[in-house]
Structure 1
Amino acid sequence: MNSLGCFNNIARNIKTRIPYGIWAKLIERRIYMIKIVDGFENSKQISKMIEDVAGELGISQKLEEIVIKHPPADSPLDMNYLSSDNKSLDLEIVDSLDNLEGRVRHELMHVADQLNEKFKYKDSLIPRKGTGAFRRYKYLWNVYIDSRLVKSGKPSYDTQEAREREIEECYPELSAALRKRCFAFLWGMGLLDFEQISAMSRDLFSAVEELKSLAQSHGEKQITFETIEELKSYRK
């Protein structure tokens, strides 16, 4: 019997002893579990942090299960994988307490965005992996998340300064002056949805009128890179 079935059996046994008002509130809550695989030295701290942040973001009310796993040895990065039915989440978390809250908040903000209907997340809008647009898509969404965390006074994965330095990796064809102004605009933007992020990853200047005018004033254009290798090796 799964955890939800066990809960239902227990609930039926105690329902008659719980006042209706309290019972109504109880059944509104989704029952979910946090599991962590063996081998974590910091399992208690990591599990507690994920539980707290998931509750704060409202994720715990929408998921049935969160499984905390080790990232691959050849790619020690924090990653999130939400199931196609939006009911379970696999979190790959580096076993370290360094900036744990910022890292967890960043990953769970990705999930909170995906679970938010207003964000309009669709797998079909993700640029093809291995392309320059895919690298830019990841960067733009990361900037959108970290900027919101910093503005709200919460720990973030990366600082504003680190994200500003990273923009050169994504847009090496642009001048330093234009990159600086583009980043300031991106960091200061209000609410975005996934359709906007997807469009910006393919053509930053066509998707946002303010940035289009900015690029025209500098006489510069964005280059489309078919592969990440082309993006990395670009030289003016």
Structure 2
Amino acid sequence: MKVSYSPQLMEESVFRHLNHLERSGYRSDYDEFHSLADPIYELPEDDREIAFEKVNRLFFMEKLKLGDHVLRALEAVGLIPKRKRTSKKSALLKENQALKSDEDFAVAEAAILPGEFTEETESDDVEQIEEEAVAVIEEEAPPEDTDEVSYDLAREFEERIKEVIVKRAINKVDEGSNVLNRVSGNPIIEMRVLASRFSNPEEALDLDAFLIQEFMHAKDMVDPEFDYEDAFIPGNPSVKNLITSRFRLLWNMYVDSRLGRIGVVSVLPKEARFREFDNFYRKIPDKQRRGIFEGIWTADKFTHEELLSMATDLDTLMSKYVDPGEISEEERDFIHLQGSPCPLCKFPTYNWVDDPESICDEMVLEAIQIDFPDWESKDGGCDRCIEVYELRAGVG
């Protein structure tokens, strides 16, 4: 399995990282980069793009070692055994040290080969990579007994995955992982990440946590036991967005809980994830809400279908973790979750009037039932709809 990085990601990541170092007073890498990059402007215009790509590749992979974040994340989730990375010393660096003048550098630059990253094989063959930077990883001797996290060394996932491609995301919505060619049997993990995440060395743990979480999602996608599939979510766009948000939350909880059990850092700690869960399901009584959260957090296995069912249907979630005697059917009917569609206007609702009958005039209820004959007070409604019908009934 090889790990490759898009030229756009390498270019912007190196630029941001070096600028941060320069502003922080560390100029050595910044100056070295410009000693290699500035003479490229003397080359013919058609040759500059390739030359800049070589310099960016050198700094991304070798000098700044930004690609190591990806390798560590792959190790942490068990997609690759714990390994060490080897590389041939970049010809670009060798040539630059040997050149004595800018003129010599300009002549030699066109002949420079890109840095190569190879995986050792029995025949010790070295494959030249021309179009993209490829981080290759080789097996390392078993580590000595230390306090480090013991990673899963099983090769089943590595052998199942053909390639990992890391690309630049254009915004936060674009970030995340996906598995291409999953059905065909030659899956490729595509990771999109903002280049700005690579800029600050002090935020390296946040970058690692993000990559680990997204690679866990990708690992689930290729895990036959999780049985991931591109499911169709019925309903209007607002309902689809609501179900998708709940599903993402439940899947993130499943990921974070497994990472916590093996001592690997996650994007959010348990209590922070509970606050997110609490925001989605705050209408469920406190005791039952905490019980549902703990039940999901301590679960060993979920399938994609189980998570999607719990995100889609509140009864499925409640029946799985709440005993029938703890809460009656009538009480369940009054649970109106934030973001659920109002039965009147169908828009996502965050300010519910749970029992209009207890606070509204009878004329308001009659006005609602004229338009919605099947509506009952226990169905509730959003505060705006109730206000509209109060005005229509002349009692607002």
1:212–1:101 distance in 2 versus 1, CA, 3 Å: same
1:126–1:156 distance in 2 versus 1, CA, 3 Å: farther
**Larger helix fraction of residues:** 1
Residue in structure 1 matching 2:12, options 30, 39, 42: 39
Distance, in Å, in 1 between the alignment partners of 2:352 and 2:188 is 40
Partner of residue 202, structure 1: 312
1:32–1:208 distance in 2 versus 1, CA, 3 Å: farther
Amino acid of the structure 2 residue aligned with 1:124: A
Amino acid of the structure 1 residue aligned with 2:258: R
Matched, 1:92 2:200: no
1:150–1:60 distance in 2 versus 1, CA, 3 Å: same
Counterpart contact for 2:283–2:336, Cα < 8 Å: yes
Partner of residue 82, structure 1: 179
1:121–1:76 distance in 2 versus 1, CA, 3 Å: closer
How far residue 162 of structure 1 moved from its aligned partner, in angstroms, is 0.6
Partner of residue 165, structure 2: 67
Counterpart contact for 2:176–2:192, Cα < 8 Å: yes
Partner secondary structure for residue 217 of structure 1: coil
Amino acid of the structure 2 residue aligned with 1:48: D
Alignment RMSD: 3.0
Q: Show structure 1 runs of 4+ deviating over 6 A.
A: none
Distance, in Å, in 2 between the alignment partners of 1:80 and 1:235 is 39
Counterpart contact for 2:292–2:318, Cα < 8 Å: no
1:45–1:88 distance in 2 versus 1, CA, 3 Å: same
Residue in structure 2 matching 1:217, options 326, 344, 348: 326
Provide the identity percentage. 19
Counterpart contact for 2:167–2:193, Cα < 8 Å: yes
CA deviations on 1:1-35 (whole Å, 9 max, x unpaired) are xxxxxxxxxxxxxxxxxxxxxxxxxxxxxx42321
1:180–1:208 distance in 2 versus 1, CA, 3 Å: closer
Q: TM-score, normalised by structure 2?
A: 0.45
Matched, 1:230 2:348: yes
Q: Between Structure 1 and Structure 2, whose CA radius of gyration is higher?
A: 2
Residue in structure 2 matching 1:111, options 188, 194, 218: 218
**Please, which runs of 5 or more residues in structure 2 have no aligned partner?**
18-59, 81-156, 198-203, 355-396
Distance, in Å, in 2 between the alignment partners of 1:163 and 1:84 is 32
Larger RCO: 1 or 2 (CA < 8 Å, sep 6+): 1
Distance, in Å, in 1 between the alignment partners of 2:266 and 2:295 is 19
Distance, in Å, in 2 between the alignment partners of 1:104 and 1:34 is 15
Partner of residue 51, structure 1: 71
Residue in structure 1 matching 2:257, options 147, 164, 168: 147
In the alignment of these two chains, the number of paired residues is: 204
Amino acid of the structure 1 residue aligned with 2:12: G
How far residue 134 of structure 1 moved from its aligned partner, in angstroms, is 1.7
Counterpart contact for 2:291–2:322, Cα < 8 Å: no
Matched, 1:185 2:311: no
Counterpart contact for 2:4–2:164, Cα < 8 Å: yes
